[in-house]
Amino acid sequence: MTEPSAAVVRARMPTGFVPEIALILGSGLGPLADAVAEAVVIPYAKLPGFPQPSVPGHGGTLHLGHLGGVPVVCLKGRAHFYEGHGSGVMRPAIAALAELGCRGIVLTNAAGSLDADMPPGSLMMLNDHINFAGTNPLIGDRGPDGGPIFLPMTDLYDRGIREIFAETAAGQDIDLFQGVYVWFTGPIFETPAEIRAARILGGHAVGMSTVPEAILARRYGMKVAAFSNITNLGAGMAPDETLSHHLTIDRARIGAAALQNLLIGGLPAMAALLRGQS
């Protein structure tokens, strides 16, 4: 199976360039795409199957180049289920990233915290998720035998890659939390009762993205790492605070610089793991 967008990207790729890691940058992390060295930038409008994000602050360009010395393809902005597309809205993009050669993917998001001890400005690496959206992007998908794809979700957020980023964080004096991300559809924020329920069920952060992309990445054979940039406490946990997209974008700046350093610092070891060299 070939994605038409992969052919468009390949035609623009410098000779001998094969991306090893893909990154999808969420709210407030766009500047990381600008850190990609000697980048070739392609607008999503030129990439069949890449929907233009309609959310302010979410970009809409693909960047090819090097980050931390690793050849990467970086998506500045993503489309979300809540924008009215199906939960498989990112399927063509993720399939293309795998087809271009990426064996691993790093997903980032802005998220609300379910733990008062993990305040805004904190970084959380996902070690699992709970899907509260009531759907997933593989519904209706067909495997090679024409039947449904019964895919295990165990260790979706790769253990070896998590160890790498935990070590990188320690070396950079970054307090990196690990926890369970709960996917709500959005675009509404959760109710305080939903936040209490998510906490009781074992969640540590809530957000409106990432889970469908992680599932799709596994579907296309990529190892996954994912990070939440905590922008607020969950609804009702900070009674004087009204949640808004503006607040998310504004607060995302706090953790963005540390997350940027963490990713750049850990990418070389992640690439080595993906090559089977560690």
* Residue 263 touches ligand HPA, criterion: CB under 6 A: no
Work out how close the CB of 183 gets to ligand HPA at its nearest, in angstroms, rounded to a whole number: 9
The CA–CA distances, whole Å, from 237 to 121, 173, 196, 229, 232 equal 16, 28, 9, 17, 9
Among 3, 20, 115, 190, binds ligand HPA (CB under 6 A): 190
Residues numbered 126 to 185 that lie near ligand HPA (CB under 6 A) are: 184
Instruction: Classify residue 78 as exposed, middle or buried by CB count within 10 Å of its CB (0-12, 13-18, 19+).
Output: buried
* Helix-strand-coil split of the chain, %, nearest 5: 30, 25, 45
Q: Is 271 helix (H, G, I), strand (E, B) or coil?
A: helix
* Residue 208 touches ligand HPA, criterion: CB under 6 A: yes
Work out how close the CB of 172 gets to ligand HPA at its nearest, in angstroms, rounded to a whole number: 24
* Residue 44 touches ligand HPA, criterion: CB under 6 A: no
Neighbours of 246 (CB within 10 A): 10
Please say which residue, 76 or 103, places its beta carbon nearer to ligand HPA: 76
* Residue 122 touches ligand HPA, criterion: CB under 6 A: no
* Residue 207 touches ligand HPA, criterion: CB under 6 A: yes
The CA–CA distances, whole Å, from 184 to 21, 151, 189, 243, 269 equal 27, 21, 8, 15, 32
Segment interacting with ligand HPA (CB under 6 A) among 48-56, 109-117, 164-172, 259-267: 109-117
Segment interacting with ligand HPA (CB under 6 A) among 63-71, 72-80, 108-116, 259-267: 108-116
The CA–CA distances, whole Å, from 219 to 30, 203, 246 equal 26, 24, 33
Please say which residue, 25 or 243, places its beta carbon nearer to ligand HPA: 243
Which residues bind to ligand HPA, rule: CB under 6 A?
110-112, 184, 189-190, 206-208, 231-232, 234, 243, 248
